Amino acid sequence: MRPTVHDIAAEAGVSLATVDRVLNKRPGVRAVTRDKVERAIETLGYVRDVTAANLAKGRTYPLVFIVPAGDNSFMRGLEVEVRAAIARSAAERTEITILSVPAFNPQALAEALEEAHRRQPAGVAVVAIDAPEVTAAVKRLRDDGIAVVTLVSDLPGSARDHFAGIDNIAAGRTAGNLIGRFLGSREGPVAVLAGSMLVRDHRDRLEGFHAVMRDHFGARALLPVIEGQDDAVLAQKLVAALLAAQPDLAGIYSLGAGNRGLVAALETAGKAETICVVAHELTPYSRAALVSGTIDVILNQDAGHEVRSAIRVLKAKADGLPVIAAQERIRIDIFLKDNLPNGQA
Amino acid sequence: MRPTVHDIAAEAGVSLATVDRVLNKRPGVRAVTRDKVERAIETLGYVRDVTAANLAKGRTYPLVFIVPAGDNSFMRGLEVEVRAAIARSAAERTEITILSVPAFNPQALAEALEEAHRRQPAGVAVVAIDAPEVTAAVKRLRDDGIAVVTLVSDLPGSARDHFAGIDNIAAGRTAGNLIGRFLGSREGPVAVLAGSMLVRDHRDRLEGFHAVMRDHFGARALLPVIEGQDDAVLAQKLVAALLAAQPDLAGIYSLGAGNRGLVAALETAGKAETICVVAHELTPYSRAALVSGTIDVILNQDAGHEVRSAIRVLKAKADGLPVIAAQERIRIDIFLKDNLPNGQA
DNA sequence: CTGTTAGCGCATTCAG
DNA sequence: CTGAATGCGCTAACAG
């Protein structure tokens, strides 16, 4: 049987309360006494039973998640994962509230952060927009002792505690490498379809993509970026125009959402098979297009992992505990039709 | 505050003990009483606090992991993950023993399973070899009420409760698709380096690979499989001979271990840059070769995920609880140099 | 500064 | 068949 607080109390010749005080680094213990207890902890090899501690504390963590509204499938999937986390609230001692905000609207996001602030939660997770008013709102939260984690899209240079998302520069590089190699010696330019340069993740992906294309596939022409606002209808219109204007288009990197529109345009133009397409995020639509062959590769971030990581980090920060960075790293998944998971999405 | 056993006892007008009896489906409760309690549970929306239950029970799960010995980096990484799980034993209420056995030796493995049996654990996780004596030993464990999970390599047709590993046919297909597309119109045959056809995972990968090459890249010549016994020295010798015999070799699919030997042979022959190589398992060696460009793609299974999944399943089976299959699915990771995680491995 | 005591939510004797 | 009482390992008033 592993040692308990009783054992260390006996070993040190003190009471339970004193042991608890040094265990939780609370004041009101003489240095000598503290030493005795710490020695006992050491010699007995005591490790605290966290679940028992939580049971006794009865502590819960009120958290707020701020997620963009709209019909972006990835964001809807993200919200599903947050709701799944809500379903686990009891076991995880969390109380999660979801705040929905219009997409690509810095003003609205800043207001949502204020709303979150008013609720005085232990932490806030937010899909960020890279804008000064957002950075300012995050700072106010932090100044008030509320932990902040950016989710999916980061806010570098802000006071946020942590970013729960993928390395988007690496994602862009991966896309470039795959498109470059898949096209091989085949002729024709490559286009990029983005959502908006207002969000950091899209900017980073573009940067990584351009870097690889420049360094390793310099002969390949790159067309100017198209911004589809992550909107399926707009994306379809823009891509249709692109296909008409560039009959010899060889590849498309779709680094944002709106893949439904992209796929529709490709299929309408009868180009589904011939153009090499690398897209982001595994959703029911993109999945179908991968299986049918319209999309060749999907780069994905696991929204479930991101949400669970954000919660772990938020709880740790709220308790002033350190975070094991390596454990919280979100991986860039690569899916071909052959390694598609059978499950959800 | 969420309802507790006390609340439901009060609501149903019975004692705690009775509530506990129906909660844990123990006998000795009249149907009427049981109904009353179940109704109370329903109306109050009670959900049991598992951590408190575990605390009260003080139950632990003795588990045995059987892992092949030798200098196979992947297996050593797997063992590291099992040791990490041992470090978490306190929190997870497990007591894990590791048994080491010579690789590719069905006889030795069957004996290790007997040794595990003697310890009377709640469950056994085993990297299987597809052989009758192993299947028989697994059956004896199961007949004795001990849960069995195969790890990494499965034992289809046996009595094992679950397989914690990837879909190796899909992995082989993925490898075929990537090699086929990367080579494009380039001429030259493709070779396959395996460990041993004695283990199911290698056989499955080969099957998937052949299927895709046949169906989608029919023009590409496939050389007979080379078996390197997952041994670096042997693999190096065999690959060196292959390179000498096939000067126009275009690609290699390394579906087992022994990548150190493969890489050494390629670099010695000065073919590191020119031949397209797809290999399995991210280890320090394969990682370095991916970064240097000798290996083009690494397919990986996350040993940490596999170990954690095996433990979850073993505990659930030991308690007679169902397993959520989708949640325990192990994904096939694809790594290019661009999306390599910075962490371990 | 230190000790006593009473729970947290649940499981389990042991009586009745 | 059912209930009262006790304890799991830890925390938190409240006394001293």
Domains of chain B: 5-48 (1.10.260.40), 57-165+303-328 (3.40.50.2300), 168-300 (3.40.50.2300)
Residue B343 has pLDDT above 70, yes or no: no
- Given a cut of 80, is residue B342 above it in pLDDT? no
In a 13 Å sphere around the CA of B36, the CA atoms on its Cβ side amount to 15
Report the pLDDT value the prediction gives residue B322, as an integer from 0 to 100.
82
pLDDT above 70 covers a percentage of chain A that reads 99
The encoded tokens of residue B177 equal 């698709």
- Comparing B247 with B38, the larger pLDDT belongs to B247
For position B91, what pLDDT does the model report?
Answer: 80
pLDDT confidence band for A343 (50 / 70 / 90): low
Distance (Å) from the alpha carbon of B328 to chain A's nearest alpha carbon: 10
Helix (H, G, I), strand (E, B) or coil at B139: helix
Nearest to A310 by CA among A96, A144, A139, A11: A96
- The model's confidence at residue B264, banded by pLDDT at 50, 70 and 90, is very high
B17 pLDDT band, cuts 50/70/90, is: confident
Chain A / chain B CB contacts < 8 angstroms? 92
In the structure, how far is the CA atom of residue A25 from the C1' atom of nucleotide C10, in angstroms? 29
Q: State whether residue A35 is helix, strand or coil.
A: helix
Instruction: Give Cα B253 distance to the centre of its chain.
Output: 21
The pLDDT value recorded for residue B23 is: 87
Mean pLDDT value across residues B24-39: 86
Which has the minimum average pLDDT: A18-27, A123-132, B307-316? A18-27
- CB–CB contact A174 B339 (8 Å): yes
B333–A contact, CB cutoff 8 A: yes
Q: Give the three-state DSSP class for B174.
A: helix
**How far B206 CA lies from chain A's nearest CA (Å)?**
14
With CA of A4 and C1' of each nucleotide, the nearest comes out as D9
Tell me the average pLDDT across B23-34. Answer: 86
Residue B250 has pLDDT above 60, yes or no: yes
A49 is written with which tokens?
């039973």
Q: Tell me the mean pLDDT in the region B11-36.
A: 87
Query: Hey, are the CB atoms on B332 and A343 less than 8 Å from each other?
Result: no
B127-142 confidence digits (pLDDT tens) = 999 999 999 999 999 9
Amino acid letter for position B210: H
When scoring A334, A337, A340 by the number of chain B Cβ atoms within 10 A, the one with the most, hence best to mutate, is A334
Q: What residue type is A170 in one-letter code?
A: A
Lowest mean pLDDT among A70-74, B220-224, B290-294: A70-74
Flag whether pLDDT at B106 surpasses 80. yes
Q: Amino acid identity, residue A229?
A: Q
Measured CA to CA, the distance from residue A284 to residue A343 in angstroms comes to 11
Question: Which positions on chain D have an atom < 7 Å from some protein CB?
Answer: 1-14
What are the C-alpha distances in Å from A30 to residues A27, A37, A48? 9, 11, 22
Q: What is the pLDDT of residues A239-283, one digit of tens each?
A: 999 999 999 999 999 999 999 999 999 999 999 999 999 999 999
How high is the pLDDT of residue B88? 87
C-beta of residue B256 within 8 angstroms of C-beta of residue B193: yes
Position A211 scores a pLDDT of 98
Band (B11; pLDDT cuts 50, 70, 90): confident
* pTM exceeding 0.85: yes
Determine which of A41-45, A162-166, A233-237, B166-170 has the lowest per-residue pLDDT on average: A41-45
Radius of gyration of chain A (CA): 25
Q: In percent, how much of chain B has pLDDT > 70?
A: 99
- Candidates B179, B333, B338, B340: best to mutate against A (most CBs of A within 10 A) is B338
Nearest to A344 among B326, B333, B339 (CB): B326
Instruction: Give me the pLDDT at residue B344, please.
Output: 52
| Band of pLDDT at residue B31, cut at 50, 70 and 90 | confident
Q: Which residue of A has its CA nearest to B93?
A: A49
Q: Please name every residue paired with A298 in a beta bridge, in sequence order, or none if there are none.
A: A279, A335
Compute the nearest-CA separation of B136 from chain A (Å).
31
Q: Is the pLDDT of residue A96 over 70?
A: yes
Closest by CA to A257, choosing from A233, A232, A225, is: A232
Q: Select from B2, B54, B170 the Cβ nearest to the Cβ of A90.
A: B2
Integer distance in angstroms from the first to the last C-alpha of chain B?
Answer: 44
A259-268 and A284-292 helices cross at what angle (nearest 10)? 30
Q: Could you tell me if B220 and B189 are in contact, meaning their C-beta atoms sit under 8 angstroms apart?
A: yes
User: B329 vs A343: CB contact, 8 Å cut-off?
Assistant: yes
* Average pLDDT of the residues in B103-126: 96
Chain A residues whose beta carbon lies within 8 Å of the beta carbon of residue B250 = none
Taking the C-alpha atoms of residue B243 and residue B235, their distance in angstroms, rounded to an integer, is 12
Q: Please answer whether residues A278 and A209 qualify as being in contact, where contact means their C-beta atoms are separated by less than 8 angstroms.
A: no
Q: What tens digit of pLDDT does each residue of A183-226 get?
A: 999 999 999 999 999 999 999 999 999 999 999 999 999 999 99
Residue B104, by phi and psi: left (phi above 0), alpha (psi -120 to 50) or beta? left
Tell me whether residue A209 is exposed, middle or buried, using C-beta atoms within 10 angstroms of its C-beta: 0 to 12, 13 to 18, 19 or more: buried
Per-residue pLDDT for A105 more than 80? yes
The average pLDDT across A297-324 equals 92
Residue to substitute from A1, A4, A50, A51, interface B, most B β-carbons within 10 A: A51
- Does residue A345 carry a pLDDT above 60? no
Percent of chain B clearing pLDDT 90 (strictly above): 74
Q: Of the spans B34-48, B88-102, B197-211, which averages the highest pLDDT?
A: B197-211
Instruction: Answer whether B336 sits within 8 Å of A51, measured CB to CB.
Output: no
Lowest mean pLDDT among A167-171, B252-256, B317-321: B317-321
What is the CA A16 to C1' D14 distance in angstroms? 15
Which of A178-182, B2-6, B254-258 has the weakest average pLDDT? B2-6
pLDDT higher than 70, residue B345: no
Nearest residue to A176 via CA among A250, A286, A253, A254: A253
**Residue found by looking up tokens 């390949």 in the block:** A220
Residue B114 has pLDDT above 70, yes or no: yes
Task: Give me chain A's average pLDDT, please.
Answer: 94
CB-CB contact of A63 with A311 (8 Å): yes
Q: Quickly list H helices, chain B.
A: 5-12, 16-23, 31-44, 50-57, 73-87, 89-92, 106-118, 132-143, 168-183, 200-216, 232-245, 259-268, 284-292, 303-318
At residue A320, φ and ψ (nearest 5 deg) are 70, 20
